Structures are given as structure tokens and as C-alpha cells.
Amino acid sequence: MSQTVRVRFAPSPTGPLHIGGVRTALYNYLLAKKHQGRFILRLEDTDQARFVPGAEQYIIDTLQWLGIAADEGPSQGGPQGPYRQSARKKIYPAYVARLVEAGKAYYAFDTPQELAAMRDRLQAARVASPQYNAISREWMKNSLTLPQQEVAARLEAGVPHAIRIKVPHQKTIRFYDQVRGWVRVQSATLDDKVLMKADGTPTYHLASVVDDYLMQTTHVIRGEEWLPSTPIHVLLYQYLGLEQAMPQFVHLPLLLKPEGYGKLSKRQADHQGFPIFPIAWQDPDTGTYIPGFREQGYLPEALLNFLALLGWSPAGGGKELLSREELIQAFSIERIHKAGVKLDIQKAAWFNQQYLRAKPEAERVRYLTAALDKHHIAYTPQQARQICQLIQERAVFPQDFWEQGKYFFQAPETYDVPILKGKWNKQVHEVLQAWIAVLRAIDVFQAPEIKTTLARLLEARQMKHKQVMPVIRVALTGIGVGPDLMQTMEVMGQQEAIKRLIQGLAQFEKAKDLAI
């Protein structure tokens, strides 16, 4: 690309960013970095009615956590600032005035009641989506229908009015989308969108086009939900005589529910028990705290890798684990997918597990020791290391080192008895009693020796390992899953392991659920 790539991520601070928004930010960032361009953060905060305290900081914190650093933005400044639209309000009136003068936009004096009445009328006439357009504008109160003098008088008197774009009656609007190819839209399907509201604030359409022009945006990369707005933007570029400066449009595929149909929603994600926000969000109105990917133990580099492949794939395929540098090098608009993508949360967890495994051992051990310290539990560094080694194959999140490691230090207080249903019986009880006696006499309490003693006893009774293993595990740890049992016992130590077996068997013997 000969021109310097300039892209922008333009969220409205109306609440926490959705994970799809983070993907948009990431693709913008990747394209900018790949071409040594500029990644701009622009806050589209002109809609005061939708202002949510904390949302702007949330966006900044999210990008920082993920290392998606803006080159220009509200905090870092830059040559085309300010980067908050609320601070750019003085810029827009001149553009809208140009449009009105050229007859491409007009004053609309309709009250909310009149607008509602128009919609009712159209609905009654079975118009599927009532619009303010080339036909309906004819019977509304605007500078196209009212006599010139009256318009002047109203403006003079300060009668509240919006300014709307004048969409041509029957025209095909064409634009090229880098993902979808040529898009053609009949102007008759478009609304005469408000460009400037009665209170003088610009709407998204106007502000976004003017700012993309002034900020010399080369590519508009955003979610597919903005595709229907694009014909209006294209018209604005044409009306303003800025077609030459029009950026390339890149609309990213929708994120779908894990089942693959329907748009991913917050409700859906809650229902399936996975986060939809990158980091925790505390609702300023209700005080509700909603944990994000970060709080659930996702590592930023894993989430980044996962998101990058959610709608894009590198040439050559196959390789999934890609560092930030590799993603930057491989990224290209041509390989962005057209079809919606399922958010497969299992895949996100898989990425996390891979990145967790790749961390230096000392860092993984720290996940455990930090928790041990917090709970005032004594340990030796060697013990902590051994436990982490046992757990690391299974650990998906940093907190798993504690969740799956605490049993080494604390005997279970509760037992997952129901999973032993059908497994606990007299024969099992007897062989484990016998085993305890043998374990007491072992000189070298190490996994291979422990294993041999059990194997011998089972063999003599023609029993299988799987008959006793779950019982041993629950007795030792209280739960049904965990690392290799014999190694677990070795790390636990002879006395502790025996004590827990005795205690566990006594519990199972008493458990009503397991009555034999």
C-alpha cells in the first residue's frame, strides 16, 4: 500500500465493550501495524442521552490489557485531534451548512408527535418499515415543503429543527466492500437520516464521515451491523465532494452463538456460562458486577490469538498458535471471512491452555504460591514446583493451580460422594483396607512403588484398577478429577496419604447414598 494506512477504532462509550468490538479494534490494529501505519482511537461520544459513566475508561483499560495500543487517541493525542467527538462539536456545523447550501440536506421542523403520526399513518397503510424519505417527506414540515419565507421565519425564531440528508428518490448507490465485494442499494430503501439534531449535536453518520475525512482514514474496518449505514456515508462523501478521499470499507462478519445460528448476545453468553465482556464491568446504575474474560483467567495473549482467528485465517492455514508479531505479519484484509463466525468458547479455553503451558515454570508456580500465601498455607518451593508439574497438563486457567493444588495442603472437608455410586462396595472397601496396611510398610514412598503394591493386591483378587481408582481419588482429594493419583500420593507424603485414605473410607462407609 503506497498511502500510509490510517485506521480508526471508533466506539461509542455507551457501556462495556462487547468481545466483538474488541475483535474490531484488533483487526484495525493488526492492519495498521502490518503496514507501519497509524491506529487511531476515536471516541464517538456525541450522544449525551446514551452516555454511561466509566464506559470510556473501560475501553481504554481493555485496550491496554490486551496491548492494543493506539498511536493517536484521547490519551495520547495526535495531529488530527481532539479524538473525542464531544470536543469536536465546532467542526461539524460547517459541513452540514455546505450540504444545506448545495440542496443535499434540509431543515426538518417536525415535532416528535408529528413524526409518530407519520409512522402510524404509514403502518396503517401497511408500509413495512415506515421512513422519512423521498415520498413521505412531501407531507412533512421541512424546508422542501414549506415556503421559503416561512422557513426563514422559523429559523429566525429559533424553532427547533433537525437537519436531514436528502436521499435521492430512485438511484442505485454502489460501493465496494473489501470483504463483500460490490454492494448495491436502492435509495428508495433508505431513510433521510438526521445529520444534526435539534440541539445542534451531530449524529453518528455526519460526525463519523467528517472525522474519517479529517483524520485521513484509509480503511473503515467495523462490524457488519454498520453495513446498512454505509450507503448514507457514501452519499455524504459524494454530496461533500469528497469521494476521492473516501476510505475503503471493510465489514467484519457477525459473531454468532456457539450453536452457529443467531447473533451472539449477552444473554446467550450468560446462559452458556461464558463471558462476553473482555474485562469486568460494574454497572453504574445497578451496581451489578459482571466478570469478563480477564477475571475468568484468560491471558491477554491467548484471547488476542483466539480473537484474531475469529473471522480471519492466515494464508497456508493449519497453524493456529500465532504470537502478536506473527499475527501482524500474516494479517491481510483478503483473508477476512464473509460468513458469520461461531464463538466457540472451548476453543478460547484451548488457546488459554496452550499459552499457560508455554509460560516459564516459575510463573506458573507463582500462580499457586500466591494463592498459598494468601491462604497462609506453608509450603516448600520444591513441593510447590512438584505440584505445579502434576497439574500443568490439565490446567486451563491460572486459578486452576490453586483449585487443583489446594488438596495437597488441605484434607478434603467434603467428598463428591454421588460420583461413587455403584463403585463403592464391600470388595472395594476390603482391598483398600488391605492396601492401607501395605502402604504403611513401604520404605520408599514413590509413585512406582505405590503403584506396584496396589497392582499386586488387585491382581490377587482379580480386580481391575478402574474399580478402585475413583474411590481412592475422592478419598484423597474429595473430587473426581485430577492429576496422576500415584504421583499425587507421592507428593502428599506417606502419612498424609494414609490418613486421608482412612478418613475417606470411613466417610464412604457412613454415606447413606452409598449404603451397601
Question: Which of 208, 352, 383, 487 is in the footprint of ligand GLU by CB under 6 A?
Answer: 208
Part of the chain binding ligand GLU (CB under 6 A), chosen from 5-13, 72-80, 142-150, 169-177: 5-13
- Rounded least distance, CB 74 to ligand GLU, Å: 14
Nearer to ligand GLU, 10 or 505 (CB): 10
* Cβ(420)–Cβ(470) below 8 Å: yes
- What DSSP element (H or E) covers 164? strand 162-165
* Nearest residue (CB) to ligand GLU, 56 versus 490: 56
Our finding on whether 11 is near ligand GLU (CB under 6 A) is: yes
Q: Torsions phi, psi of 313, nearest 5?
A: -140, 145
Q: CB of residue 25 vs ligand GLU: minimum separation in angstroms? A: 10
426 belongs to the catalytic site: no
Spatial CA neighbour of 241 closest among 98, 107, 92, 100: 98
Q: Is residue 10 close enough to count as binding ligand GLU by CB under 6 A?
A: yes
- Chain positions 111 to 140 lying near ligand GLU, rule: CB under 6 A, are none
Q: Which of 171, 266, 359, 451 is catalytic?
A: 266
- Binding mask 32-71 toward ligand GLU (x if CB under 6 A, else -) reads ------------x---------------------------
Decide: 292 and 283 in contact? Cβ < 8 Å.
no
Cis check for the bond before 93: say yes or no (omega within 30 of 0).
Answer: no
Q: How far is the CB of 221 from ligand GLU (least distance, A)?
A: 8
Task: List the interface residues with ligand GLU, window 307-366 (CB under 6 A).
Answer: none
**Closest CB 84 distance from ligand GLU, rounded Å:** 12
C-alpha angle 255-182-44 in degrees, rounded to nearest 5: 50
Query: Contact region for ligand GLU (CB under 6 A) — 4-12, 102-110, 446-454, 458-466?
Result: 4-12
Distances (CA, A) of 386 to 290, 381, 398: 35, 9, 16
Please write down the HEC assignment for all residues of 28-64: HHHHHHHCCCEEEECECCCCHHHCCCCHHHHHHHHHH
Does 218 sit near ligand GLU (CB under 6 A)?
no
Asked whether the beta carbons of 514 and 508 are under 8 A apart, the reply is: yes
In the complex, least distance from residue 226 CB atom to ligand GLU, rounded to whole angstroms? 5
Q: Which residues contact 373 (CB under 8 A, 6 or more apart)?
A: none
Q: What are the Cα distances from residue 290, in Å, to 285, 295, 385?
A: 13, 9, 33
Q: Does 226 bind ligand GLU (CB under 6 A)?
A: yes
Of the candidate residues 5, 12, 298, 369, the single one contacting ligand GLU (CB under 6 A): 12
Q: How far is the CB of 285 from ligand GLU (least distance, A)?
A: 20
Number of C-beta neighbours around residue 104 at 10 A: 19
Q: For the chain, how many helices (H) and strands (E)?
A: 19, 13
Residues that bind ligand GLU (CB under 6 A): 10-12, 44, 204, 208, 222, 226
Active-site positions read 266
